[in-house]
Amino acid sequence: MSFNPPPGKGCFTINAIVVDIGDHTIRTGKDIRRIEPKAMHVLYLLACNAGDTVERGELLRDVWNGRVVVEEALTRIISQLRQALGDSQQRRLIQTVPKKGYRLRGEVNWQSTPLPTEPAPSADSKEAEVADVPAQEAMESPKDLAPAKQPEPQKALSPAPVVSKKALFVAAVLFVLVAVVVFTLNKTVTDDTTQADEQRISVAVLPLRQLSNDDDTLYFADGITEELTDSLTQNQNLDVPSRYSTLAVTSSDNNSLSDVASSLGVRYLVEGSVRRIDEEFKIAVRLIDADTDRVVWSESYTNTASSLFAIQQNIARRLNEALLPQTSDTEVAQASSPDNIEAYQYYLRGNYWLMNGKTSEWTYKSEAAFQQAVALAPDFAAAHGKLAYLYARHDFHDAFMPREEALQKASAAISTALRNNPQETNALLASVIIDTAAGNFSSAQTILDGILGRQPNHATALYIYSELELARNRFDAALSRAQQAYELDPLSPWINVNLAIVHFWRSDYQRALEAVQNAISIDSNYTWAYVWQAKIFHRQGQLNGAITSMLQSADIDSASEVNSAYTGLLYLEIGDEKQAEQWFRHTASLLGDTPQARFWQDLQRFTEPQQTTDVARQLMLELPLLDNRIFSLLPLLYQNYLQADDSEEAIRFLQSRIADTAPQVNVHNYRFYAALQALTPLPDETSEALQRLRTKIGDNAVPLLIYPLLNPAADQALQDIEDDGWLDYYWLINNTMTASNISERLQYQRQQAALQRQQMLPLKTTSEE
């Protein structure tokens, strides 16, 4: 054992749950679960500080003896403890304290010796009574107290027996116990055991080494690593670090396998290589027990008659059999294998771009590869699932394709994927995204609950759950889901950005900035993080910081229409029309010879009252980027309607757009409701819902004031103009507004814009060079 609890503290209870430190066991009633030493050490520290928060840094330092490890190692230990305590769903016993650490709740009583097998529940044991303890968990046999004996090769993966440290057993009892234990252990060596069922094995899949310098080998090595990780993750008896944590730890050539295992907090490592010889791939994989530095299982494959997909499936099955022989038959997800080797290679190529793409081009590359895969293997469920996910995300950032076309293609891909594999995860997640956008919240929740029921640690499902909760205006629940996803995969750039988005809508800008900056520190080429950093700065009125962030994004990816247009709009916010014009022309160049390109070329002309034309309105109505996740041109279209004295048409347009979204006011459609409210009274219930949302999102509601300000006839109170936050499109407002508080705010904002324009001059020169 790596820690020594004080005398008299070898056993304690948490409510009615009995924890034996010496045996590494947790007993609830008749059910006993054995946990690994590091997990017991963490639980011991939490128990010593019951009711108080123990910081993550303190736990990492004490349990890992100062060794630098990724935080995910601790996160997985907490997950193991919650499962052993029956606290995975409720999370009442071990609470996460965001940005700090963990807190153990419940009554802790220390004992010198273990309590009877069935302890009487304490008066405060309600939390323990509702704990979800699977009935199939068997009571631990006394054999586990025996001295360690070298197991046969086939049994090498069973956790090593641990000698009990209980010093109060009398010699006679100890003698009899050892005799019984030795007999039991000897029998176990020759008979099948269910011990593996009662253990959560920790295993990391290291990136397969690419031994041939060609793209196909690169796609295959990266793809099979991802597929193996995903396959092992679906086994609920295995703890598997995310690919990002594994990449972070293995990025240094100086780390030995033992160092990697310790840093990740795992016992087993899967490592191997891929080599291409002419038209064949040779794959070598081995499973290593880092505790003993011994190869437990290894195999080499060459794809001749069988497909690469079948090889990957075989590797996953053999790994599950080696790690948990009693559960592998039921736990391994069996996917249909494509008959065409080329189809699987295209699938891996698409998966590579889906996981590693840094620029706007990755979406198209990924789609093209998956389309090739399904063309060659029409029943390839996984490839259809990935296509469905891409199409469902058609407007997540750039306008990948028109909404109607994307939804039609997504629906077809979902149908085909689920027909061939009813549990194809990406197809199900695509359904959730579409249902959430359409306001079918109950359906989305049912699907997500089903996925998480099978894979409780599916980080992507959890962060998509946070998106669902945002659409429901349940901001606390959204943060909880986003935090769960982060704890499972803290080194994922997009999960960090998702956490930032939730903090953004809660107006917690400091934490939002911390999350995006963490994403940038993980992957400095992740453009989505720079864009959201700009969004956060923008909302705080720090336009120079927002523009700087967008210029950094453009250095990485200059082909994003959304990013280019948003950069131009930010320059307009500080009054730099020359730089704005350059970025709008760049946006137009990305769109080719299209009506959209014409709009961006003439945008600044369309903002002038004398130039307000039906042509400008028609171009905006057909613009895919009219209202997106990063910016909205709705104020410009709204002004067009007012200047044409066409309020009735404006009302019809706004009502039609609202009808296309969720049936309630939320962060995705609130701008349309606010614009409509400035033109015509909303039903009382809707008006109250809009006001509640405005209160929840704080400074994010300030841009909504543009609509009554543009329409002096609007009978609407404007005291909120004194709130903090930047008022977008303030330059559309007439300077002759009469209300003193409005005039003062506009004057202040114009002064701030001029000041920040001067601050941006050095960057402008750099940009022009």
pLDDT digits (tens, 9 = 90+) for 729-755: 988 886 555 555 677 777 888 888 888
Alpha helices (runs of H) in 191-307, residue ranges in sequence order: 215-233, 243-250, 257-264
Cβ neighbours for 170, distance < 8 A, ≥ 6 positions apart: none
Question: Which of 236, 154, 251, 171 is CA-nearest to residue 206?
Answer: 251
Which value, to the nearest 10 degrees, does the dihedral of the CA atoms of residues 10, 13, 18, 19 take? Answer: -40
Phi-psi region of 633 (alpha: psi -120 to 50; beta: other; left: phi over 0): alpha
Q: What is the pLDDT of residue 418?
A: 96
Q: What is the pLDDT of residue 611?
A: 58
Question: Which of 763, 752, 764, 755 is CA-nearest to residue 726?
Answer: 752
Q: What is the pLDDT of residue 21?
A: 85
Q: What is the pLDDT of residue 573?
A: 93
Q: What is the pLDDT of residue 638?
A: 94
Q: Which CATH class is domain 203-331?
A: alpha beta
Q: What is the pLDDT of residue 93?
A: 85
Q: What is the pLDDT of residue 191?
A: 40
Q: What is the pLDDT of residue 383?
A: 94
Q: What is the pLDDT of residue 88?
A: 67
Distance of CA 188 to the CA centre of its chain: 42
Q: What is the pLDDT of residue 166?
A: 42
Separation of alpha carbons 341 and 194, rounded Å = 38
Do residues 265 and 198 touch, judged by C-beta distance below 8 A? Answer: no
The interaxial angle of helices 257-264 and 71-84, nearest 10 deg, is 60
Beta-ladder partners of 287: 270, 297
- The ranges of the chain with pLDDT < 70 are 1-9, 66, 68, 70, 88-91, 99, 112-199, 252-253, 303-307, 326-339, 357-360, 609-612, 714-724, 734-741, 761-769
Do residues 477 and 469 touch, judged by C-beta distance below 8 A? Answer: yes
Q: What is the pLDDT of residue 736?
A: 55
Phi-psi region of 294 (alpha: psi -120 to 50; beta: other; left: phi over 0): beta
Mind listing the pLDDT tens digit for each residue in 558-582?
888 999 999 999 999 999 999 999 9
Separation of alpha carbons 31 and 18, rounded Å = 10
Question: Which of 27, 9, 31, 29 is CA-nearest to residue 19?
Answer: 27
Separation of alpha carbons 709 and 704, rounded Å = 9
| Residue 40 to residues 5, 25, 418, 532, Cα–Cα distance (Å) | 11, 8, 42, 40
Q: What is the pLDDT of residue 193?
A: 34
Do residues 665 and 690 touch, judged by C-beta distance below 8 A? Answer: yes
Radius of gyration of the chain (CA): 30
Separation of alpha carbons 71 and 495, rounded Å = 15
- Span 11-197 CATH architecture: Orthogonal Bundle (1.10)
Q: What is the pLDDT of residue 510?
A: 95
Q: What is the pLDDT of residue 142?
A: 33
The interaxial angle of helices 361-376 and 341-356, nearest 10 deg, is 160
Token digits of residue 80: 């193991």
